A and B are shown apart, each in its own frame.
Chain A
Amino acid sequence: MTIQDFIQLVFFFVLLIGLTPVLGNYMYKVFSGKKHIMLPFLGWLEKLTYRVSGVNPDEETNWKTYTFALLVFSLTGFVFAFLVQLIQSWLPLNPEHLAGVSWHLSFNTAVSFMTNTNWQSYAGETTLSYFVQMTVLAVQNFVSASAGIAVLLAVIRGLAGKSTDKLGNFWTDLTRITIYVLLPLSIILAIILVGQGVVQNFKHYETVQSLNGLKQIIPMGPAASQIAIKQLGTNGGGFFNANSAHPFENPTPFSNLLEMLSILLIPAALTFTYGKMAGSRRQGWTIFTVMLILLLTGLIISLYAEYSVNPVFGHNHLMEGKETRFGIVNSVLWSVSTTAASNGSVNAMHDSLSPLSGMIAMINIMLGEIVFGGVGSGLYGMVIFIIITVFIAGLMVGRTPEYLGKKIEAFEVRMAIIAILLPNMVILIFTAWACVSQAGLAGLNNAGPHGFSEILYAYSSVAGNNGSAFAGLNTNTVFYNLTLGLGMLIGRFGVIIPVMAIAGSMAGKKVTPPSSGTFRTDNSLFIGLLIAVILIIGGLTHFPALALGPGVEHMLLNAGITF
């Protein structure tokens, strides 16, 4: 690593830490219905939305109604996305005359964007028309992100509310998040990206003569508007197949920095919002610190792995699959951030990472996408781990465990366990199935432990609603489209429903005022404890699989064997 690399890393994290309270505070104002800076500019749009949709913004609902609204909303989005893909050949804005999408791919893609996963079994430029990209994918990029944040808001209200059963109004939250947070940020980012050279047009694909005399087709399209939200909303579904490794998605080092920052920006800022809404900024910063430590640990191990001497090739800057324009540090920082944050966009091929950094990417996902994680989903996922941690450790201080003054009892523990169990079930059972079935093994391009890693990565990615791929695995088959699609659904709603149930149950509880006998959840001891619980639960669940995949590969690489 050069000194420039180091400076860049420091710069990146200073920006991230600096922007967290700024954006976090702004979101706090928006979500609590307070006056804020965007109200004069966009207030009319919010009011208009309520009038058109007939929503009473002040009507608060309990957790069941809130969750039901979310499920209905998601289902509607899914059905629309599914149908539009099937009939895209008859719809406008299809200059390349792309055919309708197969039913299983359409199912997979619809689920993928609705669940904020953005797993892509398809290649954007050769499969989907501009119409689908804009009306389905871009819209879902916004609303699936909003829905994730909405769940988080309900959870915070449940944890911090005083003996009520009201968790807010899903439609109001959805509207405010989209209009005041995602829309303005995306517009700003999209405009800057266009300035950097990201394309934004409805043109035919261009055919050019390359330097060595071959013909090359260069895809076009309304990319910038979609890339902005794909980064900000931890969606990650690229406009083009190469995602942000494509020069039209990510043309310059500056665009690269902005896109990387956008991955973590909202999830990080939400920790601050969380603290503010819960009435204690320290609680928010505690969670931020836990996430930052886990992220940095992964980053350091990945960088170490990429900069160590490769025993097979004998040198240490393997550029295969890396973002050659920006170098190893930017490739690794992106890979760690995108897997930690449930984003899934890439600027380098994770398949070509060294086994150890590939393993870090996988672990980031397997922990449950809580290291910053998806917008909203990362933090509510973290709440699950907080509940487990508080329960185990809370007993050790000799009191019924409590978080933010509310007791953690059998119901909360049961729901937390379900929320941890379901995504892990997806990873373990589907990976096992793919390993022993013809349909599963057929998709493999690589042999040995690396092939295993590819399957493991794919199911981890969908279970965590990440969406990035190890690639190297052809997943556009009925088997993979369906199992991966199912995995995404379980990974999304298998966590949302239990966590909403927790919010509902916690909302009605009395708050015990803190005393010196209270188990503190805002000090360094708790930070260490939470990290330990996250790593131990994740580690114990996936130790065997990780050992058989990247673990073996790493040791074989050291012995000079590759696959």
Chain B
Amino acid sequence: MSTKLNTALFNKRILVQAAKESVIKLNPALQIKNPVIFIVCIGSVLTTIIVIAGIFQGNFSSFNLQIAIWLWFTVLFANFAEAVAEGRGKAQAESLRKNRTQTIARKIVGKQELTVNATELRKGDVVRCLAGDVIPSDGEVIEGIASVDESAITGESAPVIRESGGDRSAVTGGTRVISDWILISITTEPGNTFIDRMIALVEGAKRQKTPNEIALSILLSGLTIIFLLVVVTLPAFFSYSLSASGLPLSQNLTIPVLIALLVCLIPTTIGGLLSAIGISGMDRLIQRNVIATSGKAIEAAGDVDVLLLDKTGTITLGNRMATDFIPAEGVSAEELADAAQLSSLSDETPEGRSIVVLAKEKFNIRGREVHQLNATFIPFTAQSRMSGVDLKTDDREIHMIRKGSSDAIRTFIQNNNGFYPQEIQNIVSELARQGATPLVVAVNKKVLGVIHLKDIVKGGIKHRFAELRKMGIKTIMITGDNPLTAAAIAAEAGVDDFMAEAKPEDKLKRIRDEQANGHLVGMIGDGTNDAPALAQADVGLAMNTGTQAAREAGNMVDLDSNPTKLIEVVEVGKQLLMTRGSLTTFSIANDVAKYFAIIPAIAISLYAGKNGTGPLSALNIMNLASPQSAILSAIIFNAIIIILLIPLALKGVRYKPVSASAALLRNLMIFGLGGIIAPFIGIKLIDILINL
């Protein structure tokens, strides 16, 4: 799903659907969930009633009608924003549903195999899945090994191996067994499976307001109440001013005008976009193939200031690379490289390939095809713990080239009645001490030398960590290596701290310590023994390839199982909070201009001299054409700005890894200062347009 799906910001189908939804959402029971927009909704109803009553009383006011129309548009636009955000999630959910066809499961009861409906499976049931079966529900492999196509949830077409025991035992309902068979113990109740939860999440059906969203809603409601007070007390102030100017009280402010003023002042922009921002935050994570169990987790990701990162896969390339050939006494480096390359020609492991490449780079020894050499490839086995080739040379002699761990090669040499020199043992020990992996190369009974395999720090990772540091995030590298190696890699990668020889319980303790010091910790894990730490961390990102225990413990799952993802998750979290703050600032800053449009318009007759223009028209600094057009322009601007800001709400404000102060300054300039200036321009333009 996700990236493979249609995620274009606006696609026609979503827009049409959203337009329909925005009308359906007028249902008061739904509308009341958003207090700010609910107020606008009440205002629209009131104004509409006044317009209709006016028609019956024979004094139809087209001005009031226009206010009513734009008030309705304000509500609809806000609903539309939410519907568009939901629509994008729904599109993703639909493609998920397609995979969740009615599945038949082979349930094991006693010794029998019953065919049952997948929905009837309960936690603890055991099912057997054969090649071609769709796995009926989430579970844990308890017996067997199989390759499974998980493209339904990951979008990745290459099958993965699932086997009992170890860290690759979790299976997801809706994925398909391609080969072999497995026995699965079901771990979730129906309706609560991974896919069910994903659908619920992307649809926003179970979306609960996040802590920051709740706090922001309170602020917005508070501002709404303040402005409500301002508006309801205004007629009293006007009544005093009207008497003082010798005008009849019948000239007091009308309800439609008061409602227009109220709607302009209350934070409708952020109020209308708030839930769209929240939904799209979830959406952006899903586009990165990360599923969060709650919106709260995404927010927490923005707050994380300590990241626990596994060395392997995150900081270093998952595999070690050959970096040097160290020949034994009396052997040339080239000779060693040639043998090493020959031994690795059919070795498809990344280590093997790196040896071929290194030999080519260093000595320009070109790779040869094994079958052309009349050679037999000896693959790596757990028993022999070495690999290589048997070469038949012209003299009919068989050259057995082997590479492997020093112990394995020593045994190999000794079996061939050869001599394993102490000098090689010294090199091996020295490399091991540095944290590198030494591979010994031998031909028949002679040791040629040692290949130096080393961890390679990922390109650009140092820069990434520097960015994180700028954002105030501390990185801690977790590795099972000894402290010396760990320190060397930590220094090379530029992490702030490292934990060497780390056991799962060490991770848990470290997380607790950091949290006790007030930090929020994010970590990645996949194994069952990572589960406690994942649960303890504020953001626990579980690998999809990991165990069911790990996936349950974390509050996010990375479908790509890419450990670098944690950094992106943090960025999504930050972007979400920034978008909310920026649009709130923009919304409040907008009010300044609206006052300058509406106050002079409604107070024009007060204390007026002979020309009928009161002193407060001096506040009409935008020089709007008439009181009516001023009020209309303000309210039109107020409605249209919601539509204009939908793309920003969905995409999020631009995110850059900079310090808090720099980010603040940037957003303040754009949304604070911009928020003050933009409506002056916008309202003036609308005023010009409607007076054409």
Contacts and interface: CB of A to CB of B under 8 A. Distances in A.
Given A432-B232, A552-B607, 15 more contacts: A392-B219, A396-B667, A400-B212, A421-B229, A431-B233, A431-B236, A432-B233, A515-B472, A515-B474, A516-B470, A516-B660, A523-B661, A525-B664, A548-B606, A548-B616
Contacts of B56: none
Contacts of A552: 241, 603, 606-607, 614-616
Q: Which of B574, B577, B580 has the most CB of A within 10 A?
A: B577
Given A391-B219, A532-B672, A398 B663 contact: yes
B230 A420 contact: no
A422 to B, nearest CB: 11
A397 B664 contact: yes
A358 to B, nearest CB: 16
A395 B469 contact: no
Interface string A394-409: 1111111000010011
Given A409-B211, A417-B222, A544-B599, A400 B472 contact: no
Contacts, number: 215
A543 B594 CA distance: 11
B237 A431 contact: yes
A436 B236 contact: yes
Nearest to A402: B303
A393 B581 contact: yes
B31 interface: no
B305 A517 contact: yes
A-side binding surface: helix, strand, loop or mixed? helix
Interface in B501-552: 517-520
B591 interface: yes
Given A396-B667, A417-B218, A545 B237 contact: yes
B193 interface: no
B663 A396 contact: yes
Contact of A517 (B230, B472, B595, B655): B472
A399 B603 contact: no
Contact of A536 (B469, B473, B589, B606): B589
B577 A421 contact: no
B460 interface: no
B55 interface: no
Interface in B578-632: 578, 580-582, 584-585, 588-589, 591-592, 595, 599, 603, 606-607, 609, 614-616, 618-619
Q: Which of B232, B665, B672 has the most CB of A within 10 A?
A: B672
A437 to B, nearest CB: 9
Contact of B303 (A399, A405, A417, A555): A399
B225 interface: yes
Given A448-B607, A515-B472, A395 B303 contact: no
Contacts of B378: none
Interface string A517-557: 11110010100010010001001110111011001100110
Given A417-B222, A433-B236, A529 B660 contact: no
Instruction: Give the 7 A-B CB pairs with smallest separation, nearest first.
Output: A517-B472, A395-B581, A398-B574, A417-B222, A515-B472, A555-B615, A432-B236
A555 B616 contact: yes
A513 interface: yes
15 contacts: A397-B664, A400-B299, A413-B218, A414-B222, A420-B226, A421-B222, A428-B229, A432-B233, A515-B474, A518-B472, A519-B660, A536-B592, A543-B599, A544-B230, A552-B614
Interface string B203-244: 000000001101110110111011101101110111111001
Nearest to B249: A436
Contact of B240 (A400, A436, A516, A547): A436
Nearest to B665: A525
B232 to A, nearest CB: 8
Given A432-B233, A515-B474, A544-B234, A447 B219 contact: no
Interface of B: 211-212, 214-216, 218-219, 221-223, 225-227, 229-230, 232-234, 236-241, 244, 265, 299, 302-303, 305, 469-474, 517-520, 573-575, 577-578, 580-582, 584-585, 588-589, 591-592, 595, 599, 603, 606-607, 609, 614-616, 618-619, 655, 659-661, 663-665, 667-668, 671-672
B663 A435 contact: no
A399 B227 contact: no
A511 interface: yes
User: Range of interface residues on chain A?
Assistant: 35 or more
A400 B518 contact: no
A400 B211 contact: yes
Interface in A22-37: none
A512 interface: yes
A400 B614 CA distance: 47
Contact of B469 (A449, A516, A532): A516
A206 B115 CA distance: 112
A517 B609 CA distance: 58
B599 A547 contact: yes
Contacts of A435: 236-237, 239-240
A299 B302 CA distance: 43
Contacts of A513: 517-519
Contact of A516 (B241, B472, B667): B472
B271 to A, nearest CB: 14
B16 to A, nearest CB: 33
Given A397-B664, A413-B218, A552-B607, A436 B212 contact: no
Given A429-B233, A540-B227, A551-B616, A448 B672 contact: no
Contacts of B299: 400
Contacts of B618: 555
Contact of B595 (A448, A449, A543): A543
Contact of B518 (A393, A429, A511): A511
Interface of A: 388, 391-400, 405, 408-410, 412-414, 417-418, 420-421, 424-425, 428-429, 431-433, 435-436, 441, 447-449, 451-452, 510-513, 515-520, 523, 525, 529, 532, 536, 539-541, 543-545, 547-548, 551-552, 555-556, 559, 561
A399 B302 contact: yes
A543 B618 CA distance: 14
Contacts of A452: 237, 240-241, 244
Contacts of B230: 428, 540-541, 544
B219 A548 contact: no
A397 B663 contact: yes
Q: Which of B469, B518, B574, B667 has the most CB of A within 10 A?
A: B518
A529 B575 CA distance: 21
B573 A398 contact: yes
A73 B239 CA distance: 42
A340 to B, nearest CB: 22
Q: Which of A428, A448, A452 has the most CB of B within 10 A?
A: A428
A522 to B, nearest CB: 11
A529 B603 CA distance: 31
A417 B212 contact: no
Contacts of B578: 395-398
Contacts of A429: 229, 233
Contacts of A512: 305, 518-520
A5 B471 CA distance: 50
A421 B661 CA distance: 30
A523 to B, nearest CB: 7
A547 B211 CA distance: 38
A532 B518 CA distance: 30
Contacts of A431: 233, 236-237
B661 A520 contact: yes
Contact of B577 (A395, A417, A432): A395
A447 B245 CA distance: 10
Contacts of A529: 664, 668
Q: Which of A409, A451, A532, A548 has the most CB of B within 10 A?
A: A548
A160 to B, nearest CB: 14
Nearest to B217: A410
A523 B584 CA distance: 22
A424 B236 contact: no
B574 A396 contact: no
A267 B1 CA distance: 61
